[in-house]
Structure 1
Amino acid sequence: MSKLDGNERWKTKMIMTEHVEQFEGQQRDAGGKMITIEERTMVRDLILLPYMDTMVSKSLKELEHSGNILKRAYSMAGQAIQRRIMQDTYQLQKELKQRNIRVLADEQEEFLVYYKIFCRGYQERFGLTRDVMRTEISLRLTQYTADLGSVLRDHLK
């Protein structure tokens, strides 16, 4: 008998291989009606993009009031990133609509944000922790900045 036997917390934290196989079998049996991993990633991105837009907007407002001599260049870069965020949001909304997937905000707890996903007749609850959101937003903003930098480098050559 191990120390974890009888500890109910561990039962919900571990995924055993038979559970993974059971989940994959349910997805095959549903005939493509359940949400796929790719679609789940699209939903996650659609949830995060408005937060990113808000962060960039706040940063641009702070920049307006700063005395930085490169204020105009930073502002143009921020606006370009914001346009890209809006384009990505529009594309994701369009793609999810074509796949008959809707996402609605559900509730917020202290460290979790929940959303309801309506996917081809099924309903699912999707939760993101604030730490995961921060990490993903940071990675995406870094990618947008790198993309903008490569466009500028290519243009200056």
Structure 2
Amino acid sequence: MSKLDGNERWKSKMLLTEHQEQYESRNKKMPSGRITTEELTLIRDSIMLPHMLTMSSKSLQEVQRSTNLFKRFFEQMIQMIMDSITQDLNKIHRELRQRNIKIYDDEMSDGIIYHRYFCRGYEDRFGIVREVLRSEISVRMAKYARSVLVSAGMSDSKLN
């Protein structure tokens, strides 16, 4: 028991934000140079989301050229999906910058897309199979479409 425990004046301590951050960063264990699974997920998403934007952009152009009765609705929906993807991509890029991770395009061989990355002085290659990327993109596109429809007022029960 310290001398200050009985003193009511010390029950509510005020701490400036920068002092709190310094204290937490001093006690926080710094990650090693090796990459974590969470960071690998960020890298995968930073590779996948630009492909999704390209696909959405092509779909938007196709819809704009069509004479479909619901053309305006589809244009708005695709644009909302593209906005959501762009927001997520910006968050991922910000997170990668904070973690000091840089990703570079590399090559594609035997149906595997490789990207080099640098993480806290550690260099490696990240590879993803095209078929896995396609299936993940289709799942993710469905999630984005569902979130757009839910935000537009459709209930989840109507979407199933």
TM over 0.5: yes
Q: Who is 1:85 aligned against?
A: 85
- Structure with the higher helix share, 1 or 2: 1
- The separation in 1 between residues aligned to 2:143 and 2:110, in whole angstroms, is 28
- Any stretches of 5+ residues in structure 2 without a counterpart? 1-29, 156-160
TM superposition score normalised by structure 1: 0.77
TM superposition score normalised by structure 2: 0.75
- Any stretches of 5+ residues in structure 1 without a counterpart? 1-29
- The separation in 2 between residues aligned to 1:39 and 1:97, in whole angstroms, is 11
**Two-structure CA RMSD over aligned residues (Å):** 1.6
- Which residue identity is paired with 2:93? Q
Q: Who is 2:137 aligned against?
A: 137
- The separation in 2 between residues aligned to 1:34 and 1:110, in whole angstroms, is 27
Shift in CA distance, 72/127, structure 1 to aligned 2, threshold 3 Å: same
Q: In the comparison of the two structures, how many residue pairs are matched?
A: 126
The alpha carbon displacement at 1:31 in A equals 5.1
Superimposed CA distance per residue, residues 103-150 of structure 1 (whole angstroms, 9 cap, x where no aligned partner)? 111111130110001000000111011001001100110000010111
Q: Who is 1:41 aligned against?
A: 41
Computing the radius of gyration from Cα coordinates, the structure with the larger value is 2
- The separation in 1 between residues aligned to 2:113 and 2:31, in whole angstroms, is 29
The SS at the match of 2:81 is helix
The alpha carbon displacement at 1:39 in A equals 0.6
The SS at the match of 1:69 is coil
- The separation in 2 between residues aligned to 1:73 and 1:50, in whole angstroms, is 23
Does structure 1 retain, via aligned residues, the 8 Å contact 2:32–2:120?
no
Aligned identity (percent) is: 41
